Homo-oligomer: A and B are copies of this chain.
């Protein structure tokens, strides 16, 4: 709380120095205490100048996924009202899941600079090198049945695609069921996990991993990062991106709560990389090929075979047939 108070004073006076006296007055603590808090902020990556007789000045804020940076100017009501930030975790989804089990409220967000065991769908890995991507998991407690859960992934995909488009102008597309592509390559994956009774979801942990500044050599084949695709040195900051994603997520989530998954699915279709195209899908025990015809209410992919027959696919790996 005091750190944030001091940060606010410095942020509000970025083009000048704030004297120790003034900071003591506003924060209502001693000079020594001010110094201690400034040191702590510096440890977190804030660049703070201390000039004799003049006082303190905020020179630069870190592009670090820490609560004070993410919360600063964040326009959400629920998502991010609690933020837990880690330098290194096994998996943000695992941390968030365990917090949710202990009763953590909807909207809590777990962030990490690095994941040592980043997870993808079905036990796969998600490359999570340090300080280059956004590894974010969010606790949601929607009033839905387990068979509606796919809608949460669709909703998140729409939010991320919109965020990327809005911040970078890149033509982000959604690949069913859980990836965001730029120029045909994976830039983001979504992992939705839940605890549920048979007819009621207890909580959802929505995990989002985005390659922001990640170097190609640290990524698997067929993956890319925002910076790589933007082709300039300084893309949007990870902090800026995280805030936009939380805001966009909240917008879609509120829309869903008001009107169900219908409008979200309509948006999803606009961003789809594959609807209308020929696809091959690897199912657990066979492969099928046809036209990606539609996404239905349950988030399933409807495939149209050459015979005209339609099949609903709930799960599988899709590749485009060229």
Contacts and interface: CB of A to CB of B under 8 A. Distances in A.
A153 B193 contact: no
Nearest to A190: B198
A195 B192 CA distance: 11
Contacts of A314: 145, 147, 199
B315 A200 contact: yes
Nearest to A121: B197
B315 A150 contact: no
B193 A122 contact: no
Q: How large is the interface on A (under 10, 10 to 19, 20 to 34, 35 or more residues)?
A: 20 to 34
Given A145-B315, A314-B145, A150 B193 contact: no
Contacts of A146: 146-147, 149, 194, 196
Q: Is the interface of A mostly helix, strand, loop or mixed?
A: mixed
B197 A193 contact: yes
A152 interface: yes
Interface in A114-149: 121-122, 143, 145-147, 149
Contact of A199 (B143, B145, B150): B150
Nearest to A143: B284
A177 interface: yes
Nearest to A316: B199
Contacts of A177: 198-199
Contacts of A284: 143
A70 B19 CA distance: 75
Give the oligomeric copy count: 2
Nearest to A191: B197
Contact of A195 (B194, B299, B315): B194
Interface string A179-202: 000000000000111111111101
A178 to B, nearest CB: 8
A193 B193 contact: no
Contacts of A122: 197, 200
Interface in A143-168: 143, 145-147, 149-150, 152-153
Interface string A207-241: 00000000000000000000000000000000000
Interface string A241-267: 000000000000000000000000000
Contact of A193 (B147, B191, B195): B195
A196 B122 CA distance: 10
Given A121-B197, A177-B198, 16 more contacts: A121-B200, A122-B197, A145-B315, A146-B147, A146-B149, A146-B194, A146-B196, A147-B298, A149-B196, A150-B199, A152-B198, A192-B197, A192-B198, A193-B195, A194-B196, A199-B315
15 contacts: A121-B200, A122-B197, A122-B200, A143-B284, A146-B149, A146-B196, A147-B147, A149-B198, A150-B198, A193-B197, A194-B195, A194-B196, A195-B195, A196-B196, A199-B314
